[in-house]
């Protein structure tokens, strides 16, 4: 109605009459319910130090620390007027990461000094430049500012990209496109939408079939031969399918990447091997990791109206780099009834979570909440947060996308060394220039190069749109082949 481009997933939901709710639409009951849960309670846990042997305390973030951390984030991680990284984006090698850039800035400003020491000095200067009297710039204020800066780096950069600072490309991070417009909630979730579409359309969906090989060799003149390991009952047998018009491969990038690092991998095997342009793109692009820790409590212990809980902490890593490993930083109130909190984990935190048992994750998460929102051991801070106690959970659910053999990660990011959108464009170029001859086409969020409105990398709507484009290209190429015979 407002002239904005319609999100492909919203269009799909409308097609199958699945209700959606715009998150910023103030006239809906769903929005009014969410608006009542808009408060964010933020705490800064300091005093434990990087060695972890100090007496930790939880404090409310000061306005001075908040403002200084915002200023520092703009200087160290954005490309605005005061940016320190902007001049280095194209002067440093293509393989450079955000960490490489920050370390270089630190070494140039304070040669021979540890990065952590450089950061403390820069924080101090920023606090003074912001108008704080020197006598007010205490070690606690500096520690608060560093903790809040670490949180901003984690939430706005590592969380957005889904990777660590020592992985993401300095030059190409944030290079993807994004469709404008409102976010919406789909009634029943994406599962309901897919189920509705699948039961409406005459589609033969085979679950329990793991693709072993995709053979498009000239000997397979009837079409592309796809061999699967089919699990039926308690047994597994090989089944052969012939895709007469062609095959669309929508496997996640994480599943395809081992083929580039080990061409002998039969998981699946492509016969003949894929072109070097695609193999190189598989290898250079990155598959990020974001997991969710959902905890169900016996009762709601957070104040009414709370939408999120934020915990900013000092670094606990025993090395010189003061960023990374930001555990338990951001919690979303998923529901008040039943009372469910969800913590989003990415970067080094998510990598560690994937190796832990659910019981250990639950214990660590609840202890982090208690330390932050119940104050220190003497109980300080509980009146500020209006939280009297935090009960033991009823149940915890943890996603482990990296460990899932059919995903091996969450979404695509621009890894250090990538050629950015040029690598992503390799898939669309292959579909148009070689797909017809090869009878092979690629789809998925990793193939979204922004060449069409909504073809956005790392998004659900981009993945869906890439599938429709691949299907259209397959039909166009088949018509050409028929016309030429």
Does the pLDDT at position 148 exceed 90? yes
pTM of this prediction?
Answer: 0.89
Does the pLDDT at position 49 exceed 70? no
pLDDT at residue number 406: 93
For the chain, give the longest Cα–Cα distance: 85
Does the pLDDT at position 432 exceed 70? yes
Average pLDDT of span 202-229: 86
Mean pLDDT over each residue of the chain, to the nearest integer = 88
pLDDT at residue number 52: 43
Does the pLDDT at position 410 exceed 50? yes
pLDDT band at residue 379 under the 50/70/90 scheme: very low
What's the per-residue H, E or C state across 165-180? CCCEECCCCCCCCCCC
pLDDT at residue number 3: 40
**In this predicted model, which residue has the larger pLDDT, 86 or 80?**
86
pLDDT at residue number 481: 76
**In this predicted model, what pLDDT tens digit does every residue of 164-196 receive, in sequence order?**
999 999 999 888 888 887 778 888 888 889 889
pLDDT at residue number 23: 65
d(CA 246, CA 220): 11
pLDDT band at residue 50 under the 50/70/90 scheme: very low
pLDDT at residue number 375: 67
pLDDT at residue number 175: 86
């Amino acid at each position: 109605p407002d002239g904005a481009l319609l999100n492909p997933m919203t269009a799909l939901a409308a097609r199958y009459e699945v209700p959606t709710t715009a998150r910023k639409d103030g006239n809906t009951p769903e929005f009014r319910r969410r608006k009542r849960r808009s408060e964010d309670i933020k705490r800064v846990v300091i005093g434990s130090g990087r060695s972890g042997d100090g007496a930790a305390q939880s404090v409310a973030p000061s306005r001075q620390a908040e403002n200084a951390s915002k200023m520092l984030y703009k200087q160290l991680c954005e490309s605005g007027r005061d940016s320190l990284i902007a001049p280095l984006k194209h002067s440093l090698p293509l393989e450079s990461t955000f960490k490489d850039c920050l370390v270089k800035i630190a070494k140039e400003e304070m040669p021979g000094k540890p990065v952590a020491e450089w950061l403390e000095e820069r924080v101090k200067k920023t606090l003074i430049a912001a108008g704080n009297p020197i006598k007010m710039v205490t070690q606690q204020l500096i520690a608060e500012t560093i903790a809040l800066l670490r949180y901003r780096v984690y939430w706005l950069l590592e969380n957005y990209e889904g990777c660590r600072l020592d992985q993401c490309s300095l030059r190409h991070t944030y290079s993807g496109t994004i469709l404008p417009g409102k976010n919406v909630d789909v009634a029943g979730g994406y599962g309901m939408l897919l189920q509705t579409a699948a039961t409406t359309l005459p589609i033969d969906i085979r679950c329990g079939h793991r693709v072993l090989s995709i053979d498009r060799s000239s000997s397979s003149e009837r079409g592309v031969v796809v061999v699967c390991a089919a699990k039926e009952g308690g047994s597994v047998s090989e089944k052969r399918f012939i895709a007469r018009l062609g095959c669309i491969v929508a496997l996640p990038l994480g599943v395809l990447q081992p083929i580039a690092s080990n061409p002998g991998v039969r998981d699946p095997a492509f016969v003949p091997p894929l072109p070097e342009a695609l193999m190189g793109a598989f290898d250079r692009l990155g598959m990020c990791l974001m997991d969710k820790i959902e905890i169900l409590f016996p009762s709601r212990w957070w104040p009414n109206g709370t939408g999120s809980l934020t915990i900013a902490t000092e670094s606990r890593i025993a090395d010189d780099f003061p960023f990374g490993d930001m555990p338990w930083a951001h919690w979303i109130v998923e529901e008040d009834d039943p009372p469910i909190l969800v913590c989003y984990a990415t970067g080094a935190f998510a990598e560690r979570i994937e190796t832990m048992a659910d019981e250990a994750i639950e214990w660590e998460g609840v202890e982090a909440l208690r330390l932050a929102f119940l104050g220190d051991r003497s109980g300080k801070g509980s009146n500020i947060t209006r939280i009297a106690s935090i009960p033991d959970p009823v149940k915890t659910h943890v996603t482990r996308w990296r460990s899932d053999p059919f995903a091996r990660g969450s979404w695509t990011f621009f890894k250090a060394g990538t050629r950015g959108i040029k690598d992503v464009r390799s898939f669309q170029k292959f579909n148009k220039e070689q797909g017809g001859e090869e009878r092979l086409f690629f789809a998925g969020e990793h193939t979204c190069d922004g060449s069409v409105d909504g073809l956005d990398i790392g998004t659900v709507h981009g993945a869906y749109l890439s599938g429709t484009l691949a299907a259209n290209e397959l039909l166009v190429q088949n018509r050409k082949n028929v016309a030429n015979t």
